[in-house]
Structure formats: structure tokens, C-alpha cells
Chain A
Amino acid sequence: MAGKPKLYYFDGRGKMESVRWLLAAAGVEFEEEFLETREQYEKLLQGGSLLFQQVPMVEIDGMKMVQTRAILSYIAAKYNLYGKDLKERALIDMYVGGTDDLMGFIMMFPFLSAEDKEKQRAVVVQKATSRYFPAYEKVLKDHGQDFLVGNNFSWADVHLLEAILMVEEKKSDVLSGFPQLQFCDTFKQKMFPGSQEVI
């Protein structure tokens, strides 16, 4: 029934990157079709593949899924990265909401002027270090476990790692006040044992 999931997007991170991360973390191989021309996009539109005329679009299990959050939730649930019950799912959803907001500040970068990039970089670092990183640092410190939710690897961990690496690209020592989050490298080892090429 199911072949590999197929991702339709531009050849770059944007909103699709979190989907690539989650599929990779779940050990799921996928195909990609990159939009290079207006004609490709219009063909998808006319074919009725894009429910709200937008990408990302992921063909998975016979569905043409759109809306990044819906896609990610489906993948997380399908591959058991969504906690064991409703309350763990609630925590994961909360944590992912925060990292999503943080990554939202970064996503617009490529489209900014050089001057605005500098301003936005400062905003990103400020939000990361005063609002978001402290929240996740506290979660890890309070329960002392390796993973954010339920002592089990979940979507929340993948999303946080992705966000940390994105912010580090803007300021390499941004984790200096956050010893718990620095276990990023340990995360990587746990999440991708033996597959260094994924990162």
C-alpha cells in the first residue's frame, strides 16, 4: 500500500525542514520533488493536489497532506513519537508550539535585507535566551530525564534539537547559559546512533 512518503517543496528548508527532521528521526526514508519553476507549481495547483493552494505538501498513506502542523502531528503519531496518552501529547504539543514560534523568527531570514538580518539576528538570540531556552532548560532540570516528555524520545525532542541548531547557526555560543540543553550532542548520539550523515 504505502510507498515512501513524497515531499513537495522548494529545494531548501522553509516550512518543510521540520518534516524532513521528523521523518529522519523516525528512520523513515522519503522522496522529494523540488519546485523549480512556476509551471510545476501551477501543475500541482491545477491537479487539485494542494488543498489550500500551498506547499508543503506530503503524499503519505494515500493522502495528499498539507499544513505543516497537521503533517507533523500525523507522522509523530504514526511513528510513536507523540507520547503515551493525552496528557503527554498535550505537553509535546505545548513544547512544539514554543519551538515553532522560535523557528518562525528565523524562517524569514533569507528574505531580509542585510541590515534587517542583523536586527532579526538580535531578536532571535534575545527570544531564544530569555524566553524559549530557559523554559526547556527548566523542564529538563526539573525531571532530570534525558528526554523532554515521559522519559521517552518524542517529536518535542526532535523539534527542540532542530531549533537549537538553527539558533546556533546565528550565534554559535548561544547555549552557554544552558547546561541541560548543551546535552544536544548527547541527544544527537541517542537519536541518530551511527548515522552521523543525517545531521
Chain B
Amino acid sequence: MSGKPRLTYFNGRGRMESIRWLLAAAGVEFQEIFFESREQYEKLIKDGVLMFQQVPLVEIDGMKMVQTRAILSYIAGKYNLYGKDLKERALIDMYVEGITDLMQMILMFPFSPPEAKEKTLDSIKERATNRYFPVFEKVLKQHGQDFLVGNKFSWADVQLIEAILAVEENIPGVLSEFPLLQAFKIRMSNMPTIKKFLQPGSPRKPPADARYIETVSRILKQ
């Protein structure tokens, strides 16, 4: 019944990148369709495929799923990356939501005007080092385990390694006060599926460049 999941989005990170990460971490191969023109996007809307007229869209197990969080939750549930019970799921959800708030700042960063970029970067650094990274450093310190929740690899670990790398791209050395997160980063990067995803030629997308910004703005008419 199900072939590979099929992702429809722009040819860049945006909101789809977390989905690519999670599928890759789960060892799931997937196909991708990239928007290049407004016409492609409008056709999808007209065909009634996008429930709220938005992407990401992931076709998986006979469903045309939209809403990033819904898609990620489904993948996590399906591939046993969502903890063993309700309480572990609650922890994973809390951690993922917090990291997502930080990732949201990074997502919007390429689209901020040049004069605001430095200030935005300062905000990202402040939030990362004062609000988010200390929490996860403390979680790892308190239980002394390799993974954030339940001594087992989960969606929360994938989301955190993605965020760490994304922040570091913009702010090198941001982990300097967080030794456990440094160790976590190395550990996660060496997990076979993640290691593969971090190598050239994987579905991982590069940071937003001028071409990506132009494409998104043109297609979404922003």
C-alpha cells in the first residue's frame, strides 16, 4: 500500500527540514517534490490537496498530511520515537515545543531585512544561551543518560541536535558553556542514521540563500 513518504515543499529547509531530519533519523527513505513556480503551488490548491492551502505537505500511508507538528507527531508515533507511555510523550512534547520556539526564530532569520539581522542574531543567541540550552544541559546532567527522555532515542533528541547545528551555523561557539550538550552533539552526530544524513548527498538542505528567499517570496507572494 504505502510507498515511500512524499514531501512537497520549496527546495530548502523552512518548515520541512524538521520532517526530513525525523524521517532520516528513523531510517526512512522518502521522495521530494520541489516548488519552482507559482503555478505548481496554485495547482495543488486548486486540486484541493492542501487542507489549509499551505505546505509542508507529506503524503504518507494514504494520507495527505499538512501542519508540520501533526506530521512530525505521526512520524514519531509510527517509528517509536515518542516514548513508551503518556508521561514520556508529555516530556518529549514539552521539549520539542520549546526547541520549536527557538527554531522559529532561526526560520524567520533569513527573511528579516538586512538592518535587523544583527539584532535578530543577538536575540537568537540570548534565547539559546539563557532560555533553551540551559534547560537541556540540566536535563542531561540530572539523569546522566545519553538521551533526553526515558534513556532511549526519541524525537526530542532529533529536534535538539537539529537546533544545535542550526544555531551553531549562525553563532559558532554557542555551546561553549554547555559541556553536556557538546557531548550530546557528538553522540547524536555519530548515530548511524544521523551520520548518514549529515553527509553530502543526503536530503539535508543547505541554509537559506538569496535564491531560496526569492523563490519562497515569489511563490507565496509575500
CB of B30 within 8 Å of the partner chain? no
Report the minimal beta-carbon distance from A87 to chain B, rounded to whole angstroms: 7
Expressed in whole angstroms, the Cα–Cα distance for A65 and B96 within the complex equals 13
Contact A65 B94 (CB under 8 A): yes
Chain B interface: which size bin? Answer: 20 to 34
CB of A132 within 8 Å of the partner chain? yes
Report the minimal beta-carbon distance from B111 to chain A, rounded to whole angstroms: 18
Report if A69-B69 is in contact (Cβ < 8 Å); known contacts: A87-B63, A131-B52: yes
CB of A123 within 8 Å of the partner chain? no
Report the minimal beta-carbon distance from B157 to chain A, rounded to whole angstroms: 16
Could you say which of A78, A86, A97, A135 contacts B86, with CB atoms under 8 Å apart?
Answer: A78
For B78, list chain A residues within 8 Å (CB). 86
Which of A4-12, A88-96, A107-115, A161-169 contacts the other chain? Answer: A88-96
CB of B70 within 8 Å of the partner chain? yes
Could you say which of B63, B69, B87, B101 contacts A63, with CB atoms under 8 Å apart?
Answer: B87
Describe A's contact surface by its main secondary structure: helix
Q: Which residue of A lies closest to B73 (CB)?
A: A93
Expressed in whole angstroms, the Cα–Cα distance for A101 and B65 within the complex equals 16
Q: Which residue of A lies closest to B82 (CB)?
A: A86
In the complex, chain A residues 44-85 whose Cβ is within 8 Å of any chain B Cβ: 51-53, 61, 63, 65-70, 73-74, 77-78
Q: Which residue of A lies closest to B48 (CB)?
A: A138
Contact B67 A70 (CB under 8 A): no
Expressed in whole angstroms, the Cα–Cα distance for A53 and B98 within the complex equals 10
Expressed in whole angstroms, the Cα–Cα distance for A192 and B133 within the complex equals 43
For B87, list chain A residues within 8 Å (CB). 61, 63
Report the minimal beta-carbon distance from A14 to chain B, rounded to whole angstroms: 16
Q: Which residue of A lies closest to B98 (CB)?
A: A52
- Number of chain A residues close to chain B: CB under 8 A: 29
Contact B77 A65 (CB under 8 A): no
CB of B61 within 8 Å of the partner chain? yes
Contact A63 B90 (CB under 8 A): yes
Could you say which of B63, B90, B131 contacts A90, with CB atoms under 8 Å apart?
Answer: B63
Report the minimal beta-carbon distance from A26 to chain B, rounded to whole angstroms: 14
CB of B183 within 8 Å of the partner chain? no
For A65, list chain B residues within 8 Å (CB). 90, 94
Expressed in whole angstroms, the Cα–Cα distance for A97 and B135 within the complex equals 26
Expressed in whole angstroms, the Cα–Cα distance for A87 and B60 within the complex equals 10
For A61, list chain B residues within 8 Å (CB). 87
For A51, list chain B residues within 8 Å (CB). 94, 98, 135
Contact A69 B97 (CB under 8 A): yes
Could you say which of B74, B89, B101 contacts A93, with CB atoms under 8 Å apart?
Answer: B74
Contact B51 A98 (CB under 8 A): yes
For B96, list chain A residues within 8 Å (CB). 70
Write the residues of chain A forming the contact surface with B, with a CB cutoff of 8 angstroms.
51-53, 61, 63, 65-70, 73-74, 77-78, 86-87, 89-91, 93-94, 96-98, 101, 131-132, 135
Write the residues of chain B forming the contact surface with A, with a CB cutoff of 8 angstroms.
51-53, 61, 63, 65-70, 73-74, 77-78, 86-87, 89-90, 93-94, 96-98, 101, 131-132, 135
Since A89-B73, A90-B73 are in contact, a sample of 20 more A-B pairs with Cβ atoms closer than 8 Å, ordered by chain A residue number, is A51-B98, A52-B98, A52-B101, A61-B87, A63-B87, A66-B98, A67-B97, A68-B97, A69-B69, A70-B90, A70-B94, A74-B93, A87-B61, A90-B65, A93-B74, A94-B51, A94-B70, A97-B67, A98-B51, A98-B67
